[in-house]
A and B are shown apart, each in its own frame.
Chain A
Amino acid sequence: GESVGLHLPTLSVQEGDNSIINCAYSNSASDYFIWYKQESGKGPQFIIDIRSNMDKRQGQRVTVLLNKTVKHLSLQIAATQPGDSAVYFCAENQAGTALIFGKGTTLSVSS
């Protein structure tokens, strides 16, 4: 089975709110994690990544948090915009092998 999963398949927020998308992973040996955004009809697009020696990393309007104790990963999007509407996937990597993806969370932003 998959080693990476997401807590909720859908998330609906209002424009301007902060969004939090969660992901749980099962392999404690995973040392690299990535969040991807996929818009309809397109391939996944890299958002932000984090290595296991960190617990937080910030980008532009996005923050990834990693809790290795409970094997939990989250993506926070500040001031969510309609253009953020998409499916978000977390993925894990083990020692240079191919990324393993979770099922995804669909984020819907209403204005």
Chain B
Amino acid sequence: GAGVSQSPSNKVTEKGKDVELRCDPISGHTALYWYRQSLGQGLEFLIYFQGNSAPDKSGLPSDRFSAERTGGSVSTLTIQRTQQEDSAVYLCASSLIPGAAGYTFGSGTRLTVV
């Protein structure tokens, strides 16, 4: 597509439930990134996929968080047993060349855990 698409745009879930957030990167972009942005804060790196290489999971805050990228395209970020502190905007970005200019961000998924 023309840009990075994320769905849903908003998600309200009850504490303890699992959620799945989806990211459709720009076609042909080999690198895909997930970030988390809490209210009024900067972007916190979560995970990075590059082609068929093992993902860089160093930013995942706990084992409740996981992500996969199928076929080198669509990615799903899963949060199990959600907690209130998981409430944030989850942003996905893709780039043609890893770590280079041209990160294109989606508009994010606003997750609210009640």
Which one of B11-19, B75-83, B96-104 is at the interface? B96-104
B47-64 vs A, Cβ < 8 Å mask (1 yes, 0 no)? 010000000100100000
A 72-97 contacts with B by CB, 8 A: 89, 91, 93-97
> Which B residues are CB-close (under 8 A) to A104?
41-42
Q: Which of A2, A89, A96, A98 contacts B33 (CB 8 A)?
A: A98
Q: Please list 22 pairs of residues, one from A and one from B, whose beta carbons are closer than 8 Å in the complex, sorted by A's number.
A: A32-B100, A34-B103, A43-B4, A43-B93, A44-B91, A44-B103, A46-B103, A49-B101, A89-B42, A91-B43, A96-B98, A96-B99, A96-B100, A98-B48, A98-B56, A99-B45, A101-B35, A101-B43, A101-B44, A102-B42, A103-B41, A104-B41
CB contact under 8 A between A95 and B41, given known A43-B108, A44-B105: no
CA distance A80 to B107 in the complex (A): 25
Residues of B within 8 A of A (CB): 4, 33, 35, 41-45, 48, 56, 59, 91, 93, 98-108
Which of chain B's residues have a CB closer than 8 A to the CB of A45? 105
Give the number of residue pairs across the A-B interface with Cβ within 8 Å: 59
Interface residues of A in 12-54 (CB under 8 A from B): 32, 34, 41-46, 49
Determine the main DSSP class of B at the interface with A: loop
Taking A46-B103, A97-B98, A101-B45 as known contacts, 17 extra A-B pairs with beta carbons closer than 8 A to each other, sorted by chain A number, are: A2-B42, A32-B100, A34-B101, A43-B93, A43-B106, A49-B101, A89-B42, A93-B99, A95-B99, A96-B98, A97-B99, A98-B33, A99-B33, A101-B35, A101-B43, A103-B42, A104-B42
